[in-house]
Structure 1
Amino acid sequence: MNDTIHDNPTPWIADHIRRFEETGGHPRPGMADLLLTTRGRRSGLLRRTALAYVRDGDAYVLTASAAGADRHPAWYLNLLATPEVTLQVGAGTFTATARQATAAESARLWPAVVAAMPSYAHYRTATTREIPLVLVTPTERAG
């Protein structure tokens, strides 16, 4: 299988990935950003995107907001199909396992997510879909 990583082609996300790499993982001072690599559910290709996160213990909490769109983002659908992912946080890269937060976890975590990124509050009102939160827990640390 081809293990070439394909970056998100959306121009502003591709720019965010480029800035992440240029700054050693700190593209937006004061914001917690990471790079998530998933396996494409249809193509089988490795797909990388940039996301904001908050922490919950050992887990990284990701918000599948798609900026309030009525469809789930592709990265979320990909990790539902294959929950084994790779995260790059700062200069470190590691494997992890992703799962959707339970309703109770989501209720507890949404205030922290909105505090970290206030635009998520607007995204929740911009769509009729439930915006999932995803917990990604490291399985192995490397470089």
Structure 2
Amino acid sequence: MYLKDGHRYLVFASKGGADTNPDWYHNLKAHPNVKVEVGNETIDVRAEVITGPQRDRLFARQASLYPQFAQYQRKTKRTIPVIAFTPKATRQ
């Protein structure tokens, strides 16, 4: 599941509200240049963890669309990471 934000694709490392981040999150932090599949398209992107007020705003947007995400955050003491995939063709 992803959330479109302009030209970026956002994903949320919720792991169902577990107290640890999912393994894929650690893989992205170590190797942020990846490919994502959106529909029939494969896109070269760079992954970036979003923090601070921007993270809070984007997570709130996701939780308003999918209330389960708010429940995930309540289940854990960690802040659920928000990761933005920015297509390399549009990076500035």
- Structure 2 length as normaliser, TM-score? 0.90
Larger Rg: 1
Q: Which residue of 2 is the match for residue 36 of structure 1?
A: none
| Displacement of 1:116 | 2.7
The CA RMSD measured in Å over matched residues stands at: 1.1
Instruction: Structure 1: state its 5+ residue gaps.
Output: 1-51
Q: Is the 8 A contact 1:54 1:116 kept in 2?
A: no
| Displacement of 1:63 | 0.3
1:110 equivalent among 53, 59, 81: 59
Q: Which residue of 1 is the match for residue 4 of structure 2?
A: 55
Q: Is the 8 A contact 1:53 1:62 kept in 2?
A: yes
Structure-1 separation of matches of 2:27 and 2:66 = 23
| Larger helix percent | 2
Q: How many residues align?
A: 89
- Structure 1 length as normaliser, TM-score? 0.59
Q: Which residue of 2 is the match for residue 126 of structure 1?
A: 75
Q: Is the 8 A contact 1:84 1:95 kept in 2?
A: yes
Q: Which residue of 2 is the match for residue 10 of structure 1?
A: none
Q: Percent identity?
A: 37
AA partner of residue 82 (structure 2): L
Q: Which residue of 2 is the match for residue 74 of structure 1?
A: 23
AA partner of residue 137 (structure 1): T
User: What do the CA deviations read for 1:91-123 (whole angstroms, capped 9, x no partner)?
Assistant: 111110001002121122122111232210100
Structure number with higher relative contact order (C-alpha < 8 Å, ≥ 6 residues apart)? 2
Task: Give structure 1 regions of 4+ aligned residues with deviation exceeding 2 angstroms.
Answer: none
